């Protein structure tokens, strides 16, 4: 039934169907553990032969409702919530890669993902090659190796706002016969469903728009159930797992193999679990996601349009701004809206950018995006300050770039705030 509902309905009613007399709202099940009577029944759950919650590091009813709702919104077969977006990215990779393996990623990436890939994964022996997303399919394919195990990209890259050419990258993934993992944080499932465009795994930093209010960290991995893991490249999913009495995930769980392994193996061993309280808050945020994404997109387009005609502004980038670098791809993949993030540069560069931020009143300087309140950041001096000048350029961040996360305030108040702050500059 719920598979047939529209996204607006799924946001408020998906993932939780109370029975007579049960709470109307998916409650916070603040319990680490669950009661059983028959040791053999619990043993079956341990062996993955029966389903049921046994310990909240691995699953919890509040979290299950959230996972189910997001999976429905993304049109996946199952989802796994994690403590943060970073741990969702980490799990999406570790679930299929081990030391010696290789990943192809676009170079236009969130700063935290870049350092995870270039520093931490490297220490685990997993090597990531960063490719310019504008290269041709043939050129990108030359970076593939026999150990390449995944293609990784962001639908709208943070903060360069490069729109992913799904057709190109899904072709590359198909040619290499590896899964296509997409970070869909910026558009959310409301504005884009990567599974419709060839993705196999979707991840989110739920901290951003899904929460929407700047309250909770969280992440999610969604399985499209549309990749054939039995092509010989993914023994972790096809060969017996000795830590589960020799179970083969593909044989036992079919199209749910990947997401089941992520939970029962990685969440069990790594413990990057989302707390039920944060899961409750993220679920509350999801209730209004579709309405918020409409307003975020509308306000961002209006602010981008205003900025592009301001004499102090050198350039503006917003996916749905006609004539912009990504306009063609944006029309194709983001027809419902370009989300709430825009970037721009003020004439005068790095120093003027910092001065401008000090002049703002409504828009606050915060290391965050995607909440109802408008915020700004200067990545070159903050989130991306660990990157060298070459790395900055490769990730599409110029030193004058200001990233704006446009909130849902009244657009006239926002435009006034930006106009005043710009006009104060000498």
Ligand X SMILES: *Cc1c(COP(=O)(O)O)cnc(C)c1O
Give dist(CA 290, CA 161) in Å, integer: 21
Give dist(CA 101, CA 99) in Å, integer: 6
Task: Considering the complex, state which of residue 221 and residue 303 has its C-beta at the smaller distance from ligand X.
Answer: 221
Task: Considering the complex, state which of residue 73 and residue 88 has its C-beta at the smaller distance from ligand X.
Answer: 88
H helices within 75-192, ranges in order?
85-94, 111-115, 121-123, 137-141, 166-176, 188-191
The 202-221 contact track toward ligand X, x by CB under 6 A, reads ---x-xx--------x-x--
Task: Considering the complex, state which of residue 127 and residue 208 has its C-beta at the smaller distance from ligand X.
Answer: 208
Q: Does 153 bind ligand X (CB under 6 A)?
A: no
52 exposed, middle or buried (CB, 10 Å; 0-12, 13-18, 19+)?
exposed
Min dist. Cβ of residue 199 to ligand X (A): 15
- The DSSP code for 247 is B
| Ramachandran region, residue 348 (left: φ > 0; alpha: ψ -120 to 50; beta: rest) | left
Contacts with ligand X by CB under 6 A: the residue count is: 15
Interstrand relation of 127-131 and 102-106 (parallel, antiparallel or unpaired): parallel
Q: Does 84 bind ligand X (CB under 6 A)?
A: yes
Min dist. Cβ of residue 34 to ligand X (A): 28
Q: Does 154 bind ligand X (CB under 6 A)?
A: yes
Task: Considering the complex, state which of residue 157 and residue 299 has its C-beta at the smaller distance from ligand X.
Answer: 157
Task: Considering the complex, state which of residue 114 and residue 258 has its C-beta at the smaller distance from ligand X.
Answer: 114
Q: Does 371 bind ligand X (CB under 6 A)?
A: no
Task: Considering the complex, state which of residue 86 and residue 299 has its C-beta at the smaller distance from ligand X.
Answer: 86
Min dist. Cβ of residue 369 to ligand X (A): 6
Give dist(CA 241, CA 389) in Å, integer: 44
Q: Which residue stretch of 200-208, 312-320, 384-392, 400-408 sits at the interface with ligand X (rule: CB under 6 A)?
A: 200-208
Min dist. Cβ of residue 420 to ligand X (A): 28
Q: Which of 211, 126, 112, 101 is nearest to 154 (CA)?
A: 112
Q: Does 86 bind ligand X (CB under 6 A)?
A: yes
Q: Return the residues of window 19-58 that contact ligand X according to CB under 6 A.
A: none
Min dist. Cβ of residue 220 to ligand X (A): 10
Q: Which of 304, 317, 306 is nearest to 163 (CA)?
A: 317
Q: Going edge to edge, which strands form the sheet with 313-317? A: 313-317, 341-346, 401-405, 375-377, 364-365
Q: Write the DSSP assignment of 7-75 as a string of letters.
A: HHHHHHHTT--PPTTS-SS------SB---S-HHHHHHHHTTSS----BTTT--HHHHHHHHHHHHHHT
Q: Which residue is nearest to ligand X (CB)?
A: 85
Instruction: Report the half-sphere exposure of 53 (CA within 13 A, side-chain side).
Output: 17
Q: Among residues 185, 216, 290, 308, which is the contact residue for ligand X, using CB under 6 A?
A: 185
Stretch (H or E) spanning 418: helix 411-423
Min dist. Cβ of residue 239 to ligand X (A): 31
Q: Among residues 16, 110, 229, 258, which is the contact residue for ligand X, using CB under 6 A?
A: 110
Stretch (H or E) spanning 345: strand 341-346
Q: Return the residues of window 325-364 that contact ligand X according to CB under 6 A.
A: none
Q: Among residues 64, 71, 158, 405, which is the contact residue for ligand X, using CB under 6 A?
A: 158
Task: Considering the complex, state which of residue 112 and residue 314 has its C-beta at the smaller distance from ligand X.
Answer: 112
Task: Considering the complex, state which of residue 197 and residue 233 has its C-beta at the smaller distance from ligand X.
Answer: 197
Q: Does 183 bind ligand X (CB under 6 A)?
A: yes
Q: Does 165 bind ligand X (CB under 6 A)?
A: no
Q: Does 85 bind ligand X (CB under 6 A)?
A: yes
Task: Considering the complex, state which of residue 113 and residue 395 has its C-beta at the smaller distance from ligand X.
Answer: 113
**SS3 assignment, position 404:** strand
Q: What number of other Cβ atoms are within 10 A of residue 369's Cβ?
A: 26
Give dist(CA 397, CA 108) in Å, integer: 9
Q: Does 11 bind ligand X (CB under 6 A)?
A: no
Q: Does 111 bind ligand X (CB under 6 A)?
A: no
- Beta carbons of 173 and 179 less than 8 angstroms apart: yes
Q: Which residue stretch of 71-79, 174-182, 201-209, 413-421 sits at the interface with ligand X (rule: CB under 6 A)?
A: 201-209
Q: Under the rule (CB under 6 A), what is the footprint of ligand X?
A: 84-86, 110, 112-113, 154, 158, 183, 185, 205, 207-208, 217, 219
């Amino acid at each position: 039934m719920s598979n047939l509902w529209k996204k607006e309905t799924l946001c408020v009613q998906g993932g939780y169907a109370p029975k007579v007399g049960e709470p109307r709202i998916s409650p916070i099940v603040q319990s680490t553990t669950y009661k059983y009577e028959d040791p053999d029944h619990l043993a079956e759950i341990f062996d993955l032969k029966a389903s049921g919650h046994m310990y909240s590091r691995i699953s919890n009813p509040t979290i299950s409702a959230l996972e189910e709702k997001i999976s429905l919104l993304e049109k996946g077969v199952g989802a796994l919530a994690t403590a943060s977006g970073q741990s969702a990215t980490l799990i999406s990779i570790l679930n299929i890669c081990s030391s010696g393996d290789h990943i192809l990623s676009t170079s236009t990436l969130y700063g935290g993902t870049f350092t995870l890939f270039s520093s931490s994964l490297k220490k685990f022996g997993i090597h990531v090659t960063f490719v310019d997303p504008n290269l041709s399919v043939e050129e990108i394919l030359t970076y593939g190796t026999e150990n390449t195990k995944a293609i990784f990209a962001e639908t709208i890259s943070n903060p360069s706002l490069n729109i992913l050419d799904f057709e190109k990258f899904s072709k590359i993934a198909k040619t290499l016969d590896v899964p296509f993992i997409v970070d869909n944080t910026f558009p959310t499932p409301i504005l884009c469903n990567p599974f419709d465009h060839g993705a196999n795994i979707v991840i989110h930093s739920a901290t951003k728009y899904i929460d929407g209010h700047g309250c909770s960290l969280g992440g999610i991995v969604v399985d499209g159930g549309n990749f054939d893991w039995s092509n010989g490249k993914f023994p972790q999913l096809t060969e017996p797992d000795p830590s589960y009495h020799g179970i083969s995930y593909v044989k036992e769980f079919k199209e749910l193999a990947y997401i089941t392994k992520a939970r029962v193996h990685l969440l069990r061993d790594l413990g990057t679990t989302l707390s039920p309280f944060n899961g409750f808050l993220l679920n509350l945020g999801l209730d209004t996601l579709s309405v918020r994404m409409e307003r975020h997109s509308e306000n961002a387009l209006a602010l981008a349009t205003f900025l592009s005609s301001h004499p102090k502004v050198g350039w503006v980038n917003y996916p749905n701004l006609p004539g912009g670098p990504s306009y063609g791809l944006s029309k194709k993949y983001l027809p419902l809206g370009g989300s709430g993030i825009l970037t721009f540069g003020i004439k005068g560069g790095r120093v003027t950018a910092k001065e401008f931020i000090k002049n703002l009143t409504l828009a606050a300087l915060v290391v965050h995006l995607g909440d109802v309140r408008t915020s700004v950041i200067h990545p070159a001096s903050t989130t991306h300050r660990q990157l060298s000048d070459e790395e900055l350029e490769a990730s599409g961040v110029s030193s004058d770039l200001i990233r704006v996360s446009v909130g849902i305030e009244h657009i006239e108040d926002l435009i006034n705030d930006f106009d005043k702050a710009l006009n104060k500059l000498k």
